[in-house]
């Protein structure tokens, strides 16, 4: 999660919402991603999607089986479904997102019946640190 926080700080430095993600396989970091929808003019360029895309390239497959994705913020519905479709084994996230979270806050994509893949989900890891980074960012924006 500390590496995901580093990615979040990169996003913040670039003027993006500070969310970071790191994809790990075994004891090896496969890929990282930071939010960049503003810089890329791409509404899908969330940290999770960036890490999954880079991970797919690194592994030569869109199926990221036996991997863990660490994210500083509870994924939105788009990112949650991408995690399922990528066949990620485990998702670990920091702060809960009461406005758009799809791992239990607003909805729980991972509990939908009929999905062909199940992801082990763990939330609240380094929650205070992840949450304070976001709170500080938005407090600065509001001035």
Q: Which pLDDT tens digit goes with each residue over 38-49?
A: 999 999 999 999
| Cβ contact 120:90 at 8 Å | yes
- 48 catalytic per annotation: yes
Q: Which residues contact 2 (CB under 8 A, 6 or more apart)?
A: 126
Dihedral angle, C-alpha 43, 45, 47, 51, nearest 10 ° = 150
Sheet holding 20-25, edge to edge: 28-34, 20-25, 67-73, 90-95, 120-123
Question: What pLDDT score does 54 carry?
Answer: 98
The one catalytic residue among 48, 50, 74, 140: 48
Q: Model-level pTM? A: 0.96
Average pLDDT, the chain: 97
């Amino acid at each position: 999660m500390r590496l995901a926080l580093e990615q979040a700080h990169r996003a913040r430095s670039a003027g993006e919402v500070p969310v970071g993600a790191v994809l790990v396989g075994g004891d090896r970091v496969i890929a990282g991603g930071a939010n960049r929808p503003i810089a890329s003019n791409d509404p899908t360029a969330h940290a999770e999607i960036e890490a999954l895309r880079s991970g797919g390239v690194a592994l030569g497959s869109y199926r990221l089986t036996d991997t863990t994705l660490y994210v500083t913020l509870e994924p939105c519905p788009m990112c949650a479904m991408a995690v399922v479709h990528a066949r990620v084994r485990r998702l670990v996230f920091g702060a809960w997102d009461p406005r758009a979270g799809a791992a239990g806050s607003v909805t729980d994509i991972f509990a939908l019946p009929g999905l062909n893949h199940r992801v082990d989900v763990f939330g609240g890891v380094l929650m205070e640190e992840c949450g304070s980074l976001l709170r500080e960012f938005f407090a600065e924006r509001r001035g």
